[in-house]
Structure 1
């Protein structure tokens, strides 16, 4: 994952260098035109410098830089129009304004504010074309700037749609994972509450010889446990919908081994090792359930994205005052996970589940050329509130 982030970082930096270099060349052209035309054009290079600066500082001052550039460009256009200084529009500041329009539509919130900035950018471009040039060429420059602005609007709107769509998908995966975790937590808690109710009822029967001392407290325990069980069953009825409500509430290390055996029967062979020092009694039930889910999702990803892998190794053992599950495989030549930068919603769901239990999950390539998923859970964890 670190190599992927580094690749994305350098792609972004190279694209920025290319765009800034393009703006610099356009600025040189504006300067040459200003030298040839004299005072009618001397403000164009200044606006171009401001535009390049606004683009370079867009990460910190996106809106401020765009507003400053539009105000400067519109002021220069009105100034030249009042004194009838005709020449040509500033192409460097126009290019910078178009790039800032793309970024505003992609990142600025709320959307109506981003649209307002884009419309003001179009007005600024048309003022530059109409007031800085002669009437014969104003229509041509105005049409050219409008087409360029429309293209920038389309690119920015598409990038914003992609961003919003991914955010919605990630949120949907997280909500689904939280609901699944809530169902499993209900099963676990309901299982224990059932035992409490049974024990309280049995103790009430045994304590029949001294009812004045024991029966009232045991009656309260039984009533509280029964009420809690009824409420949680009502809640799980809403969460489960059409799901089967008779699932086994507990997961064991044997279930993990059975999962590995089933995967090995229909896919690459898996070497599953449970290290010494790890006992099933030391793991909370919700941690065991989540370990099973992470192992299942990791093996499913291996089968889906690296079907030609030679081996898969899974290790589970104590680590750093907790428990660590590591699933590693060598990628096949057709494995697209490193190249695909937009997917990975299964990993999002796993990370949300692990995070809810106080742990963390990391997935990515290793220096040895393998793909690795590492899920760590703290020891003695109390489940997070949903």
Structure 2
């Protein structure tokens, strides 16, 4: 398997083709039945054809297609009842209505709209069961109600799973924003402390040596500019009011220490820092986030690929920024292959990276490895949420 998401997309498309093919077979059966019963039965195949069209266009016209199909189906049913025209319900029409009901319950917002459409779908299916003027109508009506209940239950379950995941992702992103706000606050406090110390020193020596004040003023200006940039990045990010531990940022030495500790208890890690990459060229909040991303990536290796024989990490300049890559050997038993995007640790890391104007990518690479990439601009944006450059896996 070269690419997990691509395989999932292929399976989804094949499933959709199979369902459409099945509906087409049901439509052919409706056409054959219409030529057998004649008269009013010829009104049934158009409903089935409309149902197939509504199913194919459900992503763009989900509500409109459902309403149009139910309106036409109800009109045909009521016309048959008024004129006492004998006929049988359409198989393609019923199948398309059930499939569309699943999608309506799963995707349509707000929830009250989905509930209204689901109830109308039940009414439409029961009206269709009244078309045949025989004892079979009762059995068909019962079968349609059971099928409708299964469709609503399946759509409701999928909707619940989707909303639960969205709520979890939102909670993780909020937690990362608050953690980032706390760290940025500490960085600003660190700079402000330096400004206060430099100002006090300048006031002390101003009376004795005025020429010594100029370097202190330059230091104050530099610290103030850095503090202002961090404060701009802090705007719009809520700050957590808790007793979490605080620090003024990480260093390249902290990244090396993290790798050494991981290698002592897990797969060996080769960590390389590119030439010309030094701490003064990286903002403190970028270094802190690099440390967090590296920690999360190594934690995932220990959790999902504990038997990997090697892990490679490197930090280097790339695309007018800095790029952190963490790669490890991938095995067929790696649960990350079947849970693409299922974890929330990297969701939080992506939120943190994006807040600094960067991008984060995690997934299987073309050479059979698992790769995590985090790119940061050398000049971080002044405000959170500014889009960064997009990176792709090799």
Q: TM-score, normalised by structure 2?
A: 0.88
Between structures 1 and 2, the one with greater helix share: 1
Q: How does 1:256-271 map to 2 (within 5 A)?
A: 256-271=255-270
Q: How does 1:14-25 map to 2 (within 5 A)?
A: 14-25=14-25
Q: How much has 1:133 moved relative to structure 2?
A: 1.4
2:177 pairs with 1:178: yes
Aligned to 2:244: 243
Partner of 1:334: 333
- Counterpart of 1:379 in structure 2 is 378
* Residues 136-151 of structure 1 aligned to structure 2 (within 5 Å): 136-151=135-150
Stretch deviating more after TM superposition (289-298 or 342-351): 342-351
CA distance in 2, matches of 1:82, 1:45: 20
Report what 1:303 is aligned to. Answer: 302
Identify the residue that residue 276 of structure 1 maps to in structure 2: 275
Matched residue, 2:64: 64
CA contact (8 A) 2:183 2:247 kept: no
Cα shift at 1:202:
2.2
Q: What is the RMSD computed on CA atoms of the aligned residues?
A: 2.4
The answer as to whether partners of 2:181 and 2:239 remain within 8 angstroms in 1 is no
Contact 1:307 1:332 in 2 (8 A): no
The residue number in structure 1 matching 2:6 is 6
Q: Secondary structure, in 3 states, of the residue corresponding to 2:314?
A: strand
Could you tell me whether the CA contact under 8 Å between 1:312 and 1:329 is conserved in 2? yes
1:28 matched residue in structure 2: 28
Cα deviation, 1:176-200, whole Å, max 9, x if unaligned, reads: 1111111110111101101111221
* Structure 2: distance between partners of 1:27 and 1:341: 37
1:105 aligns with 2:105: yes
Pairwise CA distance, 1:382: 3.6
CA distance in 2, matches of 1:127, 1:237: 54
- Residues 124 and 342 of structure 1: is their aligned pair in 2 closer, same or farther, counting only changes over 3 Å? farther
Secondary structure (helix, strand or coil) at the match of 1:44 reads helix
Number of the residue aligned with 2:155: 156
Q: CA deviation at 1:135?
A: 4.9
For the Cα contact (< 8 Å) 2:178–2:238, is it kept in 1? no
Q: Compared with structure 1, are the counterparts of its residues 375 and 154 closer, same or farther at alpha carbon in structure 2 (3 Å cutoff)?
A: same
Stretches of structure 1 that go unaligned for 5 or more consecutive residues are: none
2:167 maps to which residue? 168
**1:46 counterpart residue number:** 46
- Distance in 2 (alpha carbons) for counterparts of 1:207 and 1:178: 43
User: Partners of 1:83 and 1:163 in 2: how far apart?
Assistant: 46
- Tell me, yes or no, if the aligned pair for 2:108 and 2:114 is still in contact at 8 Å: yes
Per-residue CA deviation, residues 64-91 of structure 1 (Å, 9 max, x unaligned), is 1111101110000011111101221112
Paired position in structure 2 for 1:82: 82
Contact 2:314 2:324 in 1 (8 A): yes
Cα deviation, 1:185-225, whole Å, max 9, x if unaligned, reads: 011110110111122122222234699xx9xxx9xx9xxx9
Distance 1:73 1:2 in 2: 45
Contact 2:316 / 2:324 at 8 angstroms: preserved in 1? yes
Residues in 1 aligned to 2:144 and 2:264: alpha-carbon distance in whole angstroms: 63
